[in-house]
Amino acid sequence: MIWLTIGVTLFLLGYLLVALLRPERF
């Protein structure tokens, strides 16, 4: 379960990073 939480957290952080680097996509 802990690995699932870590995976989801990394995914969300990556998504936010892309959102900050490429605001034109939104």
Domains of the chain: which residue ranges? 1-26
Do the beta carbons of residue 26 and residue 19 sit within 8 Å?
A: yes
Q: What is the pLDDT of residue 1?
A: 83
Q: What is the pLDDT of residue 26?
A: 56
Assign 3-state DSSP to the chain and report helix, strand, coil percentages, each to 5.
90, 0, 10
Q: What is the pLDDT of residue 22?
A: 84
Q: Tens of pLDDT along 2-25? A: 999 999 999 999 999 998 888 776
